[in-house]
Amino acid sequence: MAVQTVAANSTTSTGTAGSAPYDLGAAVALSCRECGTRTELGPSFVCLECFGPLEVAYELPSGDPEELRRRIAAGPASMWRYAPLLPVPADVAEKPNLNPGLTQLVKADRLAAELGVTGGLYVKDDSGNPTHSFKDRPVAIALEAARAFGFSTLSCSSTGNLAGAVGAAAARAGLRSCVFIPDGLEQSKVVMAAIYGGELVAIDGTYDDVNRFCSELIGDPLGEGWGFTNVNLRPFYAEGSKSLAYEICEQLGWRLPDQLVIPVASGCQLVKIDKGLRELIRLGLVEDKPYRIYAAQAEGCSPVSRAYKDGTGAVRPVKQPDTIAKSLAIGDPADGPYVVDICTRTGGAADDVNDAEIVESIALLARTEGVFAETAGGVTLGVTRKLIESGAIDPTLTTVVLNTGDGLKTLDAVAATARPTAVIRPNLAAFREAGLA
């Protein structure tokens, strides 16, 4: 597991962090998700007591929820309106960054009619972010942490959305970036990773080789001063997804949805959305009532869905992911067990769909709501449909489905089916014959 192999370096990093008074807003410490041990803020990610993952601990604002709601409403039209609830300095919106978030919560009435949902169906459309995926959110937080810790290079390993988000964020901020990808990726992903002018290093090997290499690099003097969004900045990076929970509730008029369907790659996003919802309840920003969380995976890489469905909760790694939803193709998801716990605790479920269902669902969403989702969005809607049919999702309750990315990045998935309905000569007779008038 990547987190553990680089634990040695984490010690060094914590040492480096020393007692520097980092200004990361309401974040006051890092805390182990397993044993609760606290450590000071810094570029650490593994608990030195139990090797559990560290996460950010806060002193959240107390006081009148109505006052906090007003403060948020008066904030910027981006995720920074929730700065008081995130590990970022109060003046984060003044600094050069991509200002992601506050994407549309689409009231999907036409989709609801097709699916038989009567309780209100919404699509949270994160393709509206600056680089057109939800990754801009965690990367924006990682960038603030990198600035606070004095890192000069922002880095990651990626096969897609994260590469573009890191490249763009670093460019805006004037940091160096160095992104590692497996050699031989699709042209569109290479261009998105390279266009922002940072270093783009293709590794002659698989994505696993890339990850192993990054773990080596972070433990080596060569990696000194480097912030890896998904390694030594991970506790901060991960918090970015909380903003999705905040936005959904604010956009619903400070109400919790009854049901949320969330795609699962590492599982981090789902875990943090749950964390964000619980924070809102604790702060009194929303009513304390039950909600259900559903996890969506692709059949060709469904370790979490299988663990949920076989009732054991044991997440067994998938060695050879095989799905068109490449952004979800993490065979050994770090947060997999937490996802199973959350789905179980909240009364939700986990399920998966095959490639054909993914493509059908992309077309369904585009046709009914004018939202062109990437394959991960097709997974989430496909699983939503499946769970409505099975009765696991209650169609009479308010349901929010996440679209985490943009169809323009996964064109190949639909290119064979998204074709002209007719090819005609340029005259009215030909048009009449085609029967389209």
Q: Which of residues 189-248 bind its own copies (CB under 8 A)?
A: 190-192, 194-197, 199-205, 209-210, 212-213, 216-217, 220, 222-223
Q: Whole-number minimum distance, CB 370 to its own copies, in Å?
A: 3
Closest CA relative to residue 301, chosen from 272, 336, 342, 274: 336
- Burial of residue 69 (number of CB atoms within 10 Å: 0-12, 13-18, 19+): middle
Q: Whole-number minimum distance, CB 64 to its own copies, in Å?
A: 22
Site for its own copies in 408-427 (CB under 8 A): 408-409, 411, 414-415, 418-427
Residue among 297 and 375 whose Cβ is closer to its own copies:
375
User: Does 253 contact its own copies by CB under 8 A?
Assistant: no
- Dist. CA 115–CA 179, nearest whole Å: 41
Site string for its own copies, 153-182 (x = CB under 8 A): -----------x--xxxxxx-x---x--x-
Q: Whole-number minimum distance, CB 194 to its own copies, in Å?
A: 4
Helix (H, G, I), strand (E, B) or coil at 193: helix
Residue among 381 and 387 whose Cβ is closer to its own copies:
381
User: Does 407 contact its own copies by CB under 8 A?
Assistant: yes
User: Does 431 contact its own copies by CB under 8 A?
Assistant: yes
Site string for its own copies, 331-370 (x = CB under 8 A): -------------------------------xx--xxxxx
Residue among 316 and 367 whose Cβ is closer to its own copies:
367
Asked whether the beta carbons of 227 and 149 are under 8 A apart, the reply is: yes
Q: Binder to its own copies among 30, 41, 92, 132 (CB under 8 A)?
A: 132
Residue among 60 and 222 whose Cβ is closer to its own copies:
222
151 backbone dihedrals φ, ψ, rounded to 5° = -70, 145
Site for its own copies in 77-116 (CB under 8 A): 77, 96, 98-99, 102, 104, 107, 109-110
- Dist. CA 149–CA 30, nearest whole Å: 14
Q: Whole-number minimum distance, CB 79 to its own copies, in Å?
A: 13
Through-space distance between the first and last CA atoms of the chain, rounded to whole angstroms: 59
Closest CA relative to residue 400, chosen from 288, 318, 328, 294: 294
- Dist. CA 126–CA 135, nearest whole Å: 9
Helix (H, G, I), strand (E, B) or coil at 111: helix
Site for its own copies in 387-406 (CB under 8 A): 406
Q: Whole-number minimum distance, CB 128 to its own copies, in Å?
A: 7
Structure tokens at 249: 């509730």
Q: Whole-number minimum distance, CB 94 to its own copies, in Å?
A: 10
Site string for its own copies, 267-286 (x = CB under 8 A): --------------------
- Interacting span for its own copies (CB under 8 A) from 184-192, 269-277, 349-357, 381-389: 184-192
- Dist. CA 302–CA 291, nearest whole Å: 23
Q: Whole-number minimum distance, CB 371 to its own copies, in Å?
A: 8
Nearest 5°: the CA angle 344, 346, 352 is 55
User: Does 250 contact its own copies by CB under 8 A?
Assistant: no
Closest CA relative to residue 107, chosen from 292, 313, 252, 304: 252
Burial string for 117-140 (b: 16+ CB within 10 Å, else e) reads beebbbbbbbbbbbbbbbbbbbbb
Q: Whole-number minimum distance, CB 222 to its own copies, in Å?
A: 4
Residue among 216 and 341 whose Cβ is closer to its own copies:
216
User: What strand order describes the sheet that includes 27-32?
Assistant: 38-39, 27-32, 54-58
- The bridge status of strand 199-203 relative to strand 226-228 is unpaired
- Interacting span for its own copies (CB under 8 A) from 34-42, 126-134, 236-244, 305-313: 126-134
User: Does 36 contact its own copies by CB under 8 A?
Assistant: no
